Each structure stands twice: as C-alpha cells, then as structure tokens.
C-alpha cells in the first residue's frame, strides 16, 4: 500500500506532465498555424471584372480604357462630388471566385453575371425620352441595391416590380437609375433634377440603404475582432464567441455612429469619398434632399415614395438586429414630411443574413432577398400610384 506522500508526488508528476503536454501541443498548433495557415482567410466569392469578350480587366484598366467615366455635369450644375460610372453602351461581367463551391444558380458556368449599360448610362433596356401614350413610368433611384449588383437584372426588385404591376394589364415601365454615378441621397436628388427627369416619370421611388445614412464598412457595420496575439487562442475565442457581424446588443450602435466625429470616421475608414461624411444623416443632408425631391415631384404632380433597406446583418431568428433606431428615425422624418414610406426590414428579418447575400464576400441582396422584398414593395407602390 502506497504512502500518502508517494501518492501526492505521483499526482503532482502526472499533473506536471499533463501541463507540459498541453503546452507542447498548443505550441505545435501555434507553429503550424503560423507556418501553413494564413492569418486571415478571405471569404468565398471575391469579385473581379471582365469585358464583354471575357477578357479580365482591373478597375484601373477600366478607367484607362474609358470604360469608366466621370458623371458629366449638366451645364453649370455640377454633381455634389466626382463620381465614376460605367460608360454608355458597355457590356461587362461581374466575376466571382469559388462558383463551384457556392453553386449560385444565377451565375453562369464561369461564375459571372452579365451587365449591359444603355446609351443613358443606366443598367436598363434602351428607352426613349418620349413616353408612349398611356404608359406609366416609375423612376427608381438608388445605389447598388437598385442596380441589382451581383445578380441578373431580371431578378432585381425594379424589374420584378414592373412585371407584377403589368400583370394586371397596365402599361407600366420601371426605369432603373440605380448606381448610375449616384450613390448617396444628395446625388439621387441631383440626378433626378439634372439627368433622370428626361424620362417623364409619373412616379419617383427613392431607395435608401443604411450606408447612405451612417458611416459604415461598405455594406455593413463591423466591430473589429480583438486579437490576443496568439493565433491558436484567437481561433478558439472566435469559435466560441459571437460572429464578427453580430454586434454587441448592449451598445447603441446607431447613436454611436450618428455621434461619431468626422476625424474618427475618416481614421477608421468608415467615411471617405465613397461614403462621404458630409452626406450622412447626422449632417441633415438626406433629410433636406428628400424634402427637395418631394417638392419637385409635388410641383409636377408626380408621386414620390421612399423605400428603406436594412443592413444585411443581424437578421434571422434569435439574432439581434442593431439598427432599428435608424429605421425609426427615417420613418419619423418621412411621416412629418408627408412622404409615403416603406421599410422592407419586416420582409427580411426572419431570414438568416447569410442566406440573403450574393456571396460571403459580397453581401448585396441576392434573388431571394429581392423576392422577399418585392412582396412589400409591389403593393406599396401600386397603392400610392393608383395601380
């Protein structure tokens, strides 16, 4: 029978060996991660471009070859800021990696989506400025969500709206002015007054995304994940912790971003030329421009409506969507201004955000998101247009 001191000695030895084995295993794992695994793996479905003949082309090459051009001012009226847009008459491809893994049924066999730009610089069919007798035209202003980025044009909400409204026998034509060198609310207003009015609209629908209103990381707000300095521990913490896109529900993200000073927004990359701080909700510019567009429409007896899209993050059952406060602010403003307003968040809220993206690297709304949204958009527009 072993003595108590001997048993204790053996127990301590076993514990020391176990700790040593753990340290060695963790060290080996850390070394393996640092040697063989990149610190950050890019998400599936990265985007590139190709010309109409399939030749790959970079953004800079597109500028050099004048496939991308500056939005031309109308006489002395310059746009709010310089913007590039695809040159009229161009056909090109949006190309996505990992198509065989993603299996997006709207991509072609090479993981591409074709885009044609008409003579007016719109992702739209050819259209005349002279409106046929009896035709109702609905002008759709917005950014890439309206453009139908990453999906065939027929599956975007603008074309879906036309199809549903025409099903009743009405001659309705929706004009897609999305992302035609206008990506912020003040640019939508400038585009309406100086470019898009030539199509003789009977109704104007302005689609706003939340990145038009608050400083953000592209199409979403992302809280940077903290690093412990050890990749093994980082991997463990991220596996057990919250997804990077699932923001801390105890923080008022909307108010923090509304209160964010311009210097901090610029330093954090949340504002810049593509997301100009001066055009944000906190500066009062979207509100003023929506009011100006309503007055323009009222003077011409044109129906005016506003549709708001959510960020495609924090959506799905049992998940926290942290931007409701901004939706409420826009709804209150539109109500006070007498502007018909639709929030499409309820149509998307129950679906996992990841299921609504074009690809994990491109969180634009895919055909499923567009189809869910149109279920609210079509009756809203039909009611206010008397269709």
Whether the CB-CB separation of 87 and 72 falls below 8 Å is answered with no
Whether 118 maps to a domain, the answer reads no
Whether 142 maps to a domain, the answer reads yes
The tokens for 40 are 């950050």
CATH of the domain at 315: 3.40.50.1110
The tokens for 52 are 């109409």
Residue 193, domain extent: 135-218+259-385
Query: Which residue's structure tokens are 């027929």?
Result: 154
pLDDT of residue 204: 98
Whether 55 maps to a domain, the answer reads no
CB neighbourhood size of 56 (10 A): 11
Side-chain-side CA neighbours of 340 within 13 Å: the count stands at 18
Greatest alpha-carbon span in the chain: 106
Query: Which residue's structure tokens are 């939340």?
Result: 210
Q: Is 81 left (phi over 0), alpha (psi -120 to 50) or beta?
A: beta
- Whole-angstrom CA distances from 96 to 162, 243, 334, 352 are 28, 24, 38, 22
pLDDT under 50 in the chain at which residues? 33, 231-241
Whether 76 maps to a domain, the answer reads no
Contacts of range 100-103, beta carbons closer than 8 Å, 24 or more positions apart: 101/44, 102/44, 102/45, 102/359
Whether 119 maps to a domain, the answer reads no
Q: Is 305 helix (H, G, I), strand (E, B) or coil?
A: strand
Q: Angle at Cα 68 formed by Cα 71 and Cα 199, nearest 5°?
A: 45
Q: Is 26 helix (H, G, I), strand (E, B) or coil?
A: helix
Query: Into how many domains does the chain fold?
Result: 1
Whether 322 maps to a domain, the answer reads yes
- Counting Cβ atoms within 10 Å, is residue 259 exposed (0-12), middle (13-18) or buried (19+)? exposed
Residue 362: beta bridge partners?
359
Nearest CA to 179 among 220, 149, 216? 149
Whether 265 maps to a domain, the answer reads yes
Whether 50 maps to a domain, the answer reads no
Q: H-helix or E-strand containing 176?
A: strand 172-176
Distance CA 154, CA 357 (A): 17
Q: Is 194 helix (H, G, I), strand (E, B) or coil?
A: helix
Backbone CA torsion sign across 63, 66, 67, 68: positive
Distance CA 58, CA 29 (A): 38
How many angstroms separate the first and last alpha carbons of the chain? 95
pLDDT of residue 7: 73
Distance CA 251, CA 247 (A): 8
pLDDT of residue 3: 63
pLDDT of residue 2: 54
């Amino acid at each position: 029978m072993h003595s108590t001191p001997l048993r204790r000695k053996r127990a301590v030895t076993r514990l020391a060996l176990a700790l040593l084995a753990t340290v060695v295993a963790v060290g080996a794992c850390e070394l393996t991660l640092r040697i063989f695994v990149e610190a950050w793996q890019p998400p599936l479905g990265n985007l590139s471009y190709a010309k109409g003949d399939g030749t790959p082309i970079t953004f800079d090459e597109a500028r050099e070859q004048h496939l991308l051009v500056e939005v031309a001012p109308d006489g002395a009226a310059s746009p709010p800021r310089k913007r590039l847009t695809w040159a009229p008459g161009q056909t090109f491809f949006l190309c996505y990696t990992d198509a065989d893994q993603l299996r997006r049924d709207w991509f072609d066999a090479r993981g591409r989506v074709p885009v044609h730009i008409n003579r007016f610089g719109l992702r739209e069919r050819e259209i005349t400025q002279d409106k046929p007798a009896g035709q109702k035209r609905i002008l759709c202003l917005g950014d890439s969500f309206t453009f139908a980025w990453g999906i065939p044009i027929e599956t975007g909400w603008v074309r879906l709206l036309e199809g549903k409204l025409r099903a009743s026998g009405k001659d309705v034509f929706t004009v897609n002015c999305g992302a035609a060198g206008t990506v912020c609310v003040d640019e939508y207003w400038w585009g309406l007054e100086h470019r898009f009015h030539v199509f003789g609209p009977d109704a104007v629908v302005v689609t706003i995304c939340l990145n038009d209103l608050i400083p953000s990381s592209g199409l979403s707000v992302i809280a940077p994940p903290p690093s412990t300095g050890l990749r093994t521990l980082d991997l463990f913490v991220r596996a057990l912790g919250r997804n990077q896109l699932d923001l801390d529900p105890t923080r008022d993200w909307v108010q923090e971003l509304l209160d964010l000073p311009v210097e901090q927004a610029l330093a954090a990359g949340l504002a810049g030329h593509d997301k100009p701080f001066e055009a944000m909700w906190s500066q009062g510019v979207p509100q003023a421009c929506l009011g100006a567009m309503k007055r323009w429409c009222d003077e011409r007896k044109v129906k005016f409506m506003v549709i708001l899209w959510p960020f495609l993050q924090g959506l799905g059952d049992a998940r926290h969507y942290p931007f409701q406060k901004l939706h409420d602010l826009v709804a209150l403003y539109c109500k006070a201004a007498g502007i018909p307003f639709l929030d499409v968040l309820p149509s998307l809220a129950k679906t996992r955000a990841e299921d609504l993206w074009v690809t994990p690297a491109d969180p634009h709304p895919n055909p499923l998101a567009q189809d869910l949204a149109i279920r609210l958009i079509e009756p809203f527009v039909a009611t206010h247009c008397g269709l």
